[in-house]
Structure 1
Amino acid sequence: MNIKPIEKSIAILLLFICSYSFAKEQPDYLESSLCLPKENIAFSFKTDPKEKIASICIGPQRSYLVYRYGTQNHIELNYPTDPNSSSWEKFSFNSYVRAGGELNDPKGAREISFDNSGTDYSVYQNWGSENDYEIGILIINKGKNYKISGIPKSQIGSLSRLENSRDLLETRE
């Protein structure tokens, strides 16, 4: 009985298993978001035209709040860098909703904002009448505004999931 081919097969199999486990350095994200499987997606969408992803994720048992931007292979911004129970206090939430009626068109806006080293970020969702709907990110740095448009069809969740959250900073006027 020749044991050499069996040993060779086992060695190749072990090499494959080990190389796969070492190659898998990137975390597993939920499909179409940058939230980890243990996290809940509050709001996530792809951006236009670069198709990066913006995600706001809630930790297990609402233990933290985190914003991530980039691709599943490269996170460009993870805020806060070390999410914990105090991370909720680093975000502000603002909301305005007007119901429709005979004299009013329905209209609304929600945003969650944070300051990262002097740069302000606002992830927003705005809507009005006649299919007027917009999502995206507004970045204000040194007095200049940058807008990254989101793709509404890629949206998962809603900023309404953060409404009335006692953990967020008080709503800004």
Structure 2
Amino acid sequence: MKNILYLLLFLSQAVLAQAEYVKNNEVLVFSFKTNKGKKVVLAKDMGDKYLVYRFGTKDKIEMEFPGDIKNSWSKFKYSYYRRGGGKANAGVEIQNIIFENNGFKYVIYYNYSAEEDEQTVGVLVMNEANGKDIKIVGDTDTVEGSLMEIREGGLLEMADEMY
């Protein structure tokens, strides 16, 4: 019996030690795992008070943006392009959430190509000082949620550029 109590205590601490990507007052908007096992999450407050980006491992959130969630909707932009017509018309859908932090531009992307019947997801991190970009590739099999909710909600300013 004593061993079972120790096991339960250990398991409860392990659960509590895991990173909290979506808090109790939030809903998941969009997420995926990267090919290196990290997680990308966009979550919003249930009352649409804020939008937040979180990135990290199952044990630790390595980056959360913005640090101050006041007026967070104004810190993100959305870009979207769609050409219908399926494979015959090289149909495509491109969706991006864009934000800037400490001299870096982050582009969370979800793309679909009907011609190749292929999806891509990830984060493009652009260093504006030296022009070097890092592409964090996501696993499309782990995608949860949709960026369409952001577009349909009309809470984000549209970006002028596509990525």
Q: With structure 1 as the length reference, what TM-score do the two structures score?
A: 0.77
1:7-86 matched pairs, under 5 angstroms: 26=17, 29=20, 34-48=21-35, 50-84=36-70, 86=71
1:168 shift after superposition: 1.4
Q: 1:165 to 1:26 in 2, by over 3 A?
A: same
Extract structure 1 runs of 4+ deviating beyond 4 A.
Answer: 19-28
Distance (Å, rounded) in 2 between the aligned partners of 1:160 and 1:44: 13
Is the aligned partner of 1:155 residue 2:140?
A: no
Letter in 2 for 1:87: S
Total equivalences in the alignment: 153
**Contact 2:19/2:57 (8 A) holds in 1:** no
Q: 1:103 to 1:156 in 2, by over 3 A?
A: closer
**Contact 2:19/2:61 (8 A) holds in 1:** no
User: 3-state DSSP class of the match of 1:172?
Assistant: coil
Distance (Å, rounded) in 2 between the aligned partners of 1:62 and 1:156: 19
Is the aligned partner of 1:112 residue 2:80?
A: no
1:64 shift after superposition: 0.4
Distance (Å, rounded) in 2 between the aligned partners of 1:102 and 1:166: 29
Distance (Å, rounded) in 2 between the aligned partners of 1:144 and 1:151: 23
User: 3-state DSSP class of the match of 1:162?
Assistant: helix
Is the aligned partner of 1:93 residue 2:81?
A: no
Distance (Å, rounded) in 2 between the aligned partners of 1:23 and 1:151: 25
Cα deviation 1:87-137 (Å, max 9, x = unaligned):
000001000011115851221100000000111100000111232110000
Distance (Å, rounded) in 2 between the aligned partners of 1:102 and 1:70: 36
Q: 1:52 to 1:104 in 2, by over 3 A?
A: same
Matched with 1:6 is none
Instruction: Show structure 1 runs of 5+ residues with no match.
Output: 1-8
Distance (Å, rounded) in 1 between the aligned partners of 2:83 and 2:136: 25
**Contact 2:18/2:60 (8 A) holds in 1:** no
Q: With structure 2 as the length reference, what TM-score do the two structures score?
A: 0.82
